[in-house]
Structure 1
Amino acid sequence: MSRTRKANVRKRLRAVDNVIETLVKSGVKCKALEAAKQLPKESEMPPCDKYTVFSRKHKGYRKSLHKVPKFTKVTMRTPPPGF
Structure 2
Amino acid sequence: MENTGDPIHLRETRNFGDQGPYFTLSHCWGQSHPFRLTKDTVSTLKAGIPITQLPKTFQDAILVAQYFQVKYLWIDSL
TM-score interval w.r.t. the shorter chain?
Answer: 0.3 to 0.5
Normalized per residue, the structure richer in helix is 1
Query: Larger Cα Rg: Structure 1 or Structure 2?
Result: 1
TM-score (norm 2): 0.34
